[in-house]
A and B are shown apart, each in its own frame.
Chain A
Amino acid sequence: MMKINTLLVCCFLSLVMISCQKAISPNTATGTVKITIRNTVKGNPMVLNTGNYTNSFGEQYNITKFKYYLSNVSVTTTPINTFNGRYYLIDQSNPASLSFSFEAPVDTYYSLKFLIGVDSARNVSGAQTGALDPLNDMFWTWNSGYIMAKMEGNSPQSPVVNNKVEYHIGGFAGTNSVLKNYGFIITDPAGINIREGKISEIFMDADFDTWWQGVFNLKIADNPVVTTPGVLAKSISDNYVSMFSITDIKNY
């Protein structure tokens, strides 16, 4: 009798285990990586609408909209790559969007990686929600695909109606893909030191001034509006890939 009992108990237990597999978290202890972004122009905090800026070509402009996607964000250390399948829409007009968090196993990490934009698979997978909801005004309706980064503003040097400046940068396929993987190697020996239940906060600046130069010199007077995928969009993305810098890491 006892034997059958144990057998049955085992059966039930394994049944319970199988059905629970998804819910059981791995035994590894985790902490939180928090990324806080400050959008800047030439090192000063970006102020929408009222901030008056001048680029290195002497052209004046203001910024009314500034938003961009980050995805595939991870901190890595061999052999751990905390792949994070979430999508973040960083929007200067929405303070809550300027920081985000994810869990990582306890360890010390010396690298942070992310994709600027939305990976190509998600551009061809139909209707999405959350950060990728077309309601966020970052989806082209006539040429399916995400606008990976968007800046709108005005400049007296812009020859188009109402002196508009509009950069809607996207395109995920072929030679003009604007998708950029970007990574930081952290040289500070303290690294990103994730401890159980604690937060490590990474502070990043994203400087808009990089959009005008770096790889290509792009003047407002020549290109006030870029709203389709193509060579120009690609050039702007080649510039903005160097927009980010890590300013501080706090291991709490």
Chain B
Amino acid sequence: MKTRVIIFFGLLVLIAAIFISACKKNDVQPGEPHNPTYIDLTIPAGWPTPTSDIFANNKLTEEGFQLGKKLFYDGKLSKDGNFPCASCHQQFAAFATFDHDFSHGFDNSFTTRNAPGLFNLAWMTKMHWDGGINHIEVQPLAPITAQNEMAETIDNVLNKLRADTEYPALFKSAFGNTDINSQRMLKALAQFMGSIISSNSKYDKVQRGEASFTATEQNGYDLFKAKCETCHKEPLFTDNSFRNTGLAVNPFLNDFGRMRITNDKNDSLKFKVPSLRNVMLTFPYAHDGRFYSIGAAIDHYRTGIITTQPTLDPLLVNRIAITNTQKNDLIYFLNTLTDTTMTKAARFAQ
């Protein structure tokens, strides 16, 4: 009797197991377990939670991150092999283009805007100076296909990746099988870019009580909170809004910023408030890189603002009064925003 019962239960368990495994969702071919290493994006203490989770439909994994990193540094994504993402987004310059107002693109061309640094993108609600990009995953489509950047087609890029000796295996470890398609490529790039967090500058250490400002830095910080904070909001040093700071229109570019996206004349000459983290590394400054030094950028607020532009930000109609001493203090403070932990991190390096 006993053995009969045991056999009976054994059978039941077997049947149940077969049913259960048969009924599992079948994303991965049977016999090929896909066990990626899931990782979490660590939100620095005291920071706001990102308004939308960029990894909600793109589970962050070590394999996805590594694939994204390889893609970011790979010239194959450009037409002639010379313009990987990293050619314009250099780690030592906080992923901006070092010392260039405009970056070099395919066939001796220039970009028409200054390349911003890439970090803390998980908090960025809209990308590009005009906010035209609404999701981190679709951003790479712009540089890859732009004639003055990487000048390639998505189709060609995918074919190059499929023909490569390494990529099929990397896509498999990230996504479960060797299929290479645009969605997977874009999601992997998003995993890499979205993971770059800058939160270990001297400023951050001061906030955490691990360091203290000098008197000059503290004066600069106080001034910053009084005059700049509304737009360059801590801890990200941007409020993600679009504003006109009263810059003259560059007649070569005729760039009216946000208006191109919204078609609303109230948005004329508005550009995204850039983060000032790592600002000492991301010169030249402004959407067209017109200011070659941080001093020149600050002087704009003191004396350069064109106050007759109808869409000028109300905060700037009287310009910003800053004495020479205060300007000096401010620069000392901005220096504390440089995060060499990020710019030297092996994890983000090629």
A residues in contact (CB < 8 Å) with B:
1, 5, 8-9, 12, 15-16, 19-20, 22-23, 123-129, 133-135, 139, 141-145, 174, 176, 228-231
Contact = CB atoms under 8 A, between A and B. Distances in A.
B38 interface: no
A174 B136 CA distance: 22
Given A133-B181, A142-B132, A127 B16 contact: no
Contacts of A22: 23, 25
B215 interface: no
Contacts of B190: 126-127
A123 B54 CA distance: 15
Contact of B146 (A12, A16, A19, A141): A141
Contacts of A128: 183
Most chain B CB within 10 A, of A123, A126, A176, A231, is at A126
Contacts of B263: 176, 228-231
Contacts of B54: 126
Give the most central of B24, B54, B138: most A CB within 10 Å.
B138
A125 B57 contact: yes
A227 to B, nearest CB: 12
Nearest to B52: A124
A12 B16 CA distance: 6
A229 B261 CA distance: 8
B206 interface: no
Contacts of A20: 19-20, 23
Given A123-B134, A126-B136, A126-B137, A16 B16 contact: yes
A208 B260 CA distance: 28
What range describes how many residues of B lie at the interface?
35 or more
Contacts of B132: 142-144
B134 A144 contact: yes
Given A129-B182, A135-B182, A144-B132, A15 B16 contact: yes
B155 interface: yes
Given A8-B9, A228-B263, A139 B138 contact: yes
A127 B55 CA distance: 12
Interface in B142-190: 142, 145-146, 154-155, 158, 181-183, 186-187, 190
B12 interface: yes
6 tightest A-B CB contacts, nearest first = A126-B137, A127-B186, A127-B137, A144-B134, A20-B23, A126-B135
Nearest to B16: A12
Contacts of A231: 263
B324 to A, nearest CB: 41
Interface of B: 5, 8-9, 12-13, 15-16, 19-20, 23-25, 54, 57-58, 128, 132-138, 141-142, 145-146, 154-155, 158, 181-183, 186-187, 190, 260-263
A126 B58 contact: yes
A19 B190 CA distance: 33
A19 B181 contact: no
A190 B139 CA distance: 49
B161 to A, nearest CB: 13
Contacts of A125: 57, 135
A16 B19 contact: yes
A19 B12 contact: no
Contacts of B155: 135
A127 B138 CA distance: 6
A228 to B, nearest CB: 7
B5, B134, B154: which has the most chain A beta carbons within 10 Å?
A: B134
B54 to A, nearest CB: 8
B151 to A, nearest CB: 13
A141 B135 CA distance: 11
A129 B23 contact: no
B19 A126 contact: no
A5 B5 CA distance: 9
A16 B142 contact: no
A2 to B, nearest CB: 11
A139 to B, nearest CB: 7
Most buried by A among B142, B183, B260: B183
Contact of B135 (A16, A144, A176): A144
Contacts of B25: 22
29 contacts: A5-B8, A9-B12, A12-B13, A12-B15, A15-B16, A16-B16, A19-B23, A19-B24, A20-B20, A20-B23, A123-B134, A126-B57, A126-B136, A126-B137, A126-B138, A127-B182, A127-B186, A133-B182, A134-B154, A141-B146, A142-B128, A142-B132, A142-B133, A144-B138, A145-B134, A176-B263, A228-B260, A228-B263, A229-B263
